[in-house]
Amino acid sequence: MANDTLTIKDNRTGKEYEVPIENDTIKAMDLRQIKVNDADFGMMSYDPGFKNTANTKSTITLVDGGNGILRYRGYPIEQLAESSTFLEVAYLILNGELPSKDAYEKWVYDITHHTIVHENIKDLMSAFRYDAHPMGMFISTVAALSTFYSDSGDIFNEEARDLNITRLIAKVPTIAAFSYRHLMGFPYKLPDNNLSYTGNFLSMMFKMAELRYEPNPALERALDVLFILHADHEQNCSTTTMRTIGSSQADPYSALAGAAGALYGPLHGGANEKVLRMLREIGDVKNVPDYVERAKKGEFRLMGFGHRVYKNYDPRAKFIKKVAEDVFEVTGRSPLIDIAVELERIALEDDYFVERKLYPNVDFYSGIIYEAMGFPVSIFPVLFAVPRTVGWLAQWQEMLADKEQPIARPRQVYLGEGERDYVAMDKR
Ligand code: CMC
């Protein structure tokens, strides 16, 4: 008998089944042959939250949670964060290889020359309430973009698909900045083509009456590094949403709006906002032990702690700690960093956190940096969505090319009532 198979014995019937093992997985559909009798539907696997279900084969990102490793297309995240730029990493994630000099220059040119949005987008955003949450504005406006491009649904036409990918990566910083300007009551600022991707983003965010905004190079680089660290993270909640919506062959704008909606939640990309609010609530280093005790009692979770996949220090969090120091040299030290460092120290020594392998994740320090750079807390999830747009699009593109991917449609275990007859209202 070949070794690369799994033998399953069904003790209800005494029957044995042999199913192939490929890449350390078995196909869930191979379980369907396991039946008690011919009328039986067949065995399914039950996996709420997909904790042990691979939904796709992918060649984009590797997260080795046990060893704290993250690689994009094989390149360690530390090397990319140290030596690359966000747009180079975006090219790598989307195309599989680092670009040649010519390809990189063309890519940067194309992105830079698609940053402007239609004037109607401004009108649309102006219609939001004065205190609308920036992430709500971002999600809705990205969805609305599909109505501006007649080729948005032409997803199997490579040229149209590439153009819409370029448009999305180029325009999300513009929409993100407009959502901030709307919140602040400031006029929207047009993109500046002489600046880098992150330099232009800072300009659209913070430019006031000056003729030209000059981004601080250290802050521009710090934001670029943060964007690299957030660009992709394989099959997380929002990426799975992108793939799920995309599997119905919806246009990328609608799928991306859905993915951003999934990111918004406090257990995912909304955590960075919650971390900052948590650190402010703790207020002082001396209150940290009491706060940790309350988290252990289950009163609340420590935001920015724990991860479904990492059962070791999140490599992004390690790098972000370094970025924080670079930023504080320009902005001055945030008092919240001392609370964060103390919280991390106490939690990492505590049995509760050690036993459950709960370490700081990417969101733990990113919010402190963003705040020091002048971003308001409510825009933090948007700052996650802008770079993650690249990962969502790369995963969506990969899914479209994958002949094994049908429309996403999970099964359920039905435990409701059996058939019963309708009862008229006066008889209930
Ligand atoms: N604080 C206190 N206890 C925690 C925490 C936390 N942050 N996270 C998990 N636990 C406990 C949890 O109560 C459970 O304990 P027990 O076994 O006694 O019931 C155990 O650890 C396992 O938790 P889980 O909910 O089964 O783990 P999960 O893999 O389903 O959840 C998580 C992962 C990220 C949703 C969770 O750790 C969490 O809620 N963290 C706080 C929110 C956060 O920081 N999210 C950002 C994630 S990283 C950014 C990104 O999404 O990409």
Say if ligand 1 is within 6 A of residue 347 CB.
no
Q: Is the pLDDT of residue 1 over 70?
A: no
Most confidently predicted of 91-100, 270-279, 318-327: 91-100
CATH 3.90.1150.10 fits 76-265+380-391, yes or no: no
Place of tokens 């992004």: 316
Q: What is the mean pLDDT of residues 18-45?
A: 97
Residue 88: both structure tokens together: 């180079």
| Atom 52 of ligand 1, residue of closest alpha carbon | 268
Burial environment of residue 139 by CB neighbours within 10 A (0 to 12, 13 to 18, 19 or more)? buried
Distance 164 CA to ligand 1 centre (A): 35
Is-contact 257 142, C-beta < 8 A?
Answer: yes
Distance 307 CA to ligand 1 centre (A): 6
Report the percent of the chain where pLDDT is more than 90. Answer: 86
Say if ligand 1 is within 6 A of residue 308 CB.
yes
Which CATH superfamily groups domain 271-372?
Cytochrome P450-Terp, domain 2 (1.10.230.10)
Q: Is the pLDDT of residue 80 over 60?
A: yes
By C-alpha distance, which of 366, 262, 281, 258 is closest to 320? 366
**Euclidean distance between the first and final Cα of the chain, in Å?**
62
Place of tokens 């009532």: 417
Q: Which of 224, 230, 307, 314 is catalytic?
A: 307
Helix ranges, 113-216 (H): 119-126, 134-145, 158-184, 197-206
pLDDT in tens, 226-274: 999 999 999 999 999 999 999 999 999 999 999 999 999 988 888 888 8
The pLDDT of residue 312: 85
Say if ligand 1 is within 6 A of residue 356 CB.
yes
118 is an active site residue: no
By C-alpha distance, which of 237, 227, 123, 243 is closest to 173? 227
Is-contact 230 384, C-beta < 8 A?
Answer: yes
Q: Which of 30, 151, 154, 268 is catalytic?
A: 268
Burial environment of residue 14 by CB neighbours within 10 A (0 to 12, 13 to 18, 19 or more)? exposed
Pseudo-torsion of CA 148, 151, 155, 158, nearest 10°?
A: -120
Report the mean per-residue pLDDT for the chain: 95
Distance 259 CA to ligand 1 centre (A): 20
CA–CA gap between residue 273 and residue 363 (Å, rounded): 8
Domain positions in the chain: 76-265+380-391, 271-372
Residue with more model confidence, 250 or 341:
250
Distance 306 CA to ligand 1 centre (A): 5
| Atom 48 of ligand 1, residue of closest alpha carbon | 361
268 is an active site residue: yes
Task: Report residue 327's pLDDT band, with 50, 70 and 90 as the boundaries.
Answer: very high
